[in-house]
Structure 1
Amino acid sequence: MTHSFYPGCEVVCIDDKVPLEGGTIVKDAAITEGTVYRLRWVGMATHYVFGDYLGVKLEGVDSKFGEAWGVKDAPFAARRFRPLVKDPLAWVKQIAADPHGYKVTGPEGPIKGEPDDGERVKEKEEEKV
Structure 2
Amino acid sequence: MTYQFHAGQEVVCIDDKVPLEGGAIVKDAAITEGQVYRIRWVGMASHYVFGDYLGVKLEGVDSKFGETWGVKDASFAARRFRPLVKDRLGSLRALLNPNQPTAPAPEEPKRRVTTKEEEKV
Q: Distance in 2 between matches of 1:59 and 1:34?
A: 16
Q: Distance in 1 between matches of 2:82 and 2:20?
A: 23
Q: RMSD of the alignment, in Å?
A: 2.2
> Could you tell me which amino acid in structure 2 is paired with residue 14 of structure 1?
I
Larger radius of gyration, structure 1 or 2?
1
TM-score in terms of structure 1 length: 0.66
* 2:9 is aligned with 1:17: no
> Could you tell me which amino acid in structure 2 is paired with residue 67 of structure 1?
E
| Structure 2 residue runs without a partner (length 5+) | 90-108, 111-121
TM-score in terms of structure 2 length: 0.70
> Could you tell me which amino acid in structure 2 is paired with residue 5 of structure 1?
F
| Structure 1 residue runs without a partner (length 5+) | 90-106, 109-129
Instruction: Please show how residues 45-124 of structure 1 align to structure 2 within 5 Å.
Output: 45-87=45-87
In the TM superposition, structure 1's runs of 4+ consecutive aligned residues that sit over 4 Å from their partners are: none
Q: Which has the higher contact order (CA 8 A, sep 6+)?
A: 2
Instruction: Give the share of equivalent positions with the same residue, in percent.
Output: 86
Q: Distance in 2 between matches of 1:82 and 1:41?
A: 15
